Structure 1
């Protein structure tokens, strides 16, 4: 089954309204979720929605909470999300980082007591749209074992960077593991195997079974290089922002426990270094050099292609996700058939 972007937004808004999520917050969650599905990050789109609903039901997501500023300087801030929707907290954090960057050249905002925030690239896009460089990092529940070990201690610890350009969408949004945990959860839901060289089972043996992988560990990408990057992010999104780290991080995949991970978002104003138009022109010139070789992609090209395809052909939903969504909508008294035109 495929649905349109408008249908997905309507479905999410209707569910969140029935779950008493304030309208402005619901709109942010819906937009971030749709952005993931349009870009092809289905593991962080509507497929995550059952997790969010469970969080609302058990109280690990608190939609009525107020985000508080615990510390602030001209260029930095530390936010306590008070267990609000992660999408809303990170959106507000990037808004603050953007404002500070426009004043001082750089804004950096740390977050703790938040929740899973969807796709990291949405927030770096916010910076791009203001002619700023955006950076987002976060830690997650343990899923990756250190090189040489088999016990998960590190998170999949995503990194997103977005850079303004005159003619191109320049963005990278990636886990520091060989696969995002969400892709394993998605494979499990769909009854599919995962690629080789992605994960180990609980005994430290290679596996293509997502269930065994979720009980074991995901490999870091690029061996020691991915491990080292995940290690550094664990610290910058943990102790630096007053959040948990290592085995103490909970709640990014299991919605029944409070989320203790951290986030760090940053915005950089290139115009505080060089002329803005010169900067964007030189970024484009560099991209032209790269693309002079046929069939070469830059970071962001795949997302542009996916957005175009999904806008034209619709966003695919697998059978088991449809079943989960129907169970949720039935419980909420929402007519999913009418919303999706089935």
Structure 2
């Protein structure tokens, strides 16, 4: 079975409305959820939605949320998310960073006391819409063991970077070989993991998603991915007054308070020189890249293809996710099947 973009948007809003979320939060969470599914990051779209329901029930997501700006200068701000929806807190943080960048050329906003926000690239995309460069990083519950170690200590710590252009030039990735959400999704679907993804709790390679969630996920690229995830841990932990290492909870443990941190950086290219020239030079470089081979891919190409396919053909709902959504909707007196096709 599948769900079309507009129906998924309506379903998420209806569920959140029934749970008592504000209209603004309904809209922002729905947009981020649909964005993840359209791009093929289903582990962070509807597939992650049951986790948010656990957080709401446990009281770790505050339905009466509003951000507090704790510190601010013309170029930066430190935000307390007050345990609101991660999507809503992140949207507001990115808007502040964009505004500062438009005024000064760069804006940097740190966030603590927030929640899981879906896919990181949704927020760097917000900067692209304003002809700005967007960089977003975050930490998560421990998932990566330090290189040479056997115990998970560092998060999967995603990074997203987008460049404004006529093309869609963006990267959104975990610093682990795969996102934890894909491990969770594999467990839900009852499928094994590929070789080289994870270790069990004893530090031995495993293809079992349950063992992987109890053990650790490998960093991408060996030392390089490990080093990047470690540095992101510092920038989204101690720097923004959030937790770090073993102190981070809530992104994979929805019944616990979310203690992770985020950092949003926006750069306005027009402050360096003529924006149209910057964009033209960027496109010229991308043309050079594509000219090097018939099958050359540019970061963002895959997402463009996935979005087009998902918008045309719908987003697949697997059997296990359908069962989870059916329970959620049944408890809220929502007719799930009326939103689905096939």
How would you bin the TM-score normalised by the shorter chain?
over 0.9
Equivalence for 2:319:
319
Equivalence for 1:156:
156
What is the Cα deviation at residue 338 of structure 1? 2.2
User: What is the CA RMSD across the aligned residues, in angstroms?
Assistant: 0.8
After TM superposition, the structure 1 = structure 2 runs for residues 171-190 of structure 1, keeping only pairs within 5 Å, are 171-190=170-189
Tell me the distance in 1 between the aligned counterparts of 2:208 and 2:337.
33
Equivalence for 2:62:
62
Tell me the distance in 2 between the aligned counterparts of 1:44 and 1:225.
25
Q: Which runs of 5+ in 1 are unaligned?
A: none
> After TM superposition, which residue ranges in structure 1, 4 or more long, deviate above 4 angstroms?
none
Equivalence for 2:262:
263
Q: Aligned pair 1:333/2:299, yes or no?
A: no
TM-score between both structures, scaled by the size of structure 2: 0.99
Q: Aligned pair 1:222/2:251, yes or no?
A: no
TM-score between both structures, scaled by the size of structure 1: 0.99
Equivalence for 1:7:
7
Q: Tell me the alpha carbon deviations over residues 202-258 of structure 1, each in whole angstroms, 9 at most, x when there is no partner.
A: 111111111111111000000000000001000000000000000000000111000
Tell me the distance in 2 between the aligned counterparts of 1:44 and 1:270.
30
After TM superposition, the structure 1 = structure 2 runs for residues 283-298 of structure 1, keeping only pairs within 5 Å, are 283-292=282-291, 293-298=293-298
Tell me the distance in 1 between the aligned counterparts of 2:175 and 2:131.
26
SS of 1:79's partner is strand
Tell me the distance in 2 between the aligned counterparts of 1:339 and 1:174.
30
Tell me the distance in 2 between the aligned counterparts of 1:204 and 1:144.
11
Equivalence for 1:300:
300
Equivalence for 1:90:
90
Tell me the distance in 1 between the aligned counterparts of 2:59 and 2:103.
38
Q: Tell me the alpha carbon deviations over residues 19-62 of structure 1, each in whole angstroms, 9 at most, x when there is no partner.
A: 00001111000000000000011110000000001111110000
SS of 1:108's partner is strand
Q: Tell me the alpha carbon deviations over residues 110-152 of structure 1, each in whole angstroms, 9 at most, x when there is no partner.
A: 0000000001101111000100000000000000000000100
Aligned length: 341
Tell me the distance in 2 between the aligned counterparts of 1:156 and 1:274.
36
What is the Cα deviation at residue 337 of structure 1? 1.9
Tell me the distance in 2 between the aligned counterparts of 1:172 and 1:190.
27
Equivalence for 1:206:
205
After TM superposition, the structure 1 = structure 2 runs for residues 122-141 of structure 1, keeping only pairs within 5 Å, are 122-141=122-141
What is the Cα deviation at residue 333 of structure 1? 1.1
SS of 2:107's partner is strand
Residues 65 and 85, structure 2, Cα contact 8 Å, conserved in 1: no
Q: Aligned pair 1:46/2:21, yes or no?
A: no
What is the Cα deviation at residue 341 of structure 1? 5.5
Tell me the distance in 2 between the aligned counterparts of 1:172 and 1:338.
35
What is the Cα deviation at residue 172 of structure 1? 0.2
Q: Tell me the alpha carbon deviations over residues 70-119 of structure 1, each in whole angstroms, 9 at most, x when there is no partner.
A: 00000000000010000000000000000000000000000000000001
Equivalence for 1:23:
23
What is the Cα deviation at residue 336 of structure 1? 1.1
Equivalence for 1:197:
196
What is the Cα deviation at residue 65 of structure 1? 2.1
Tell me the distance in 2 between the aligned counterparts of 1:96 and 1:195.
40
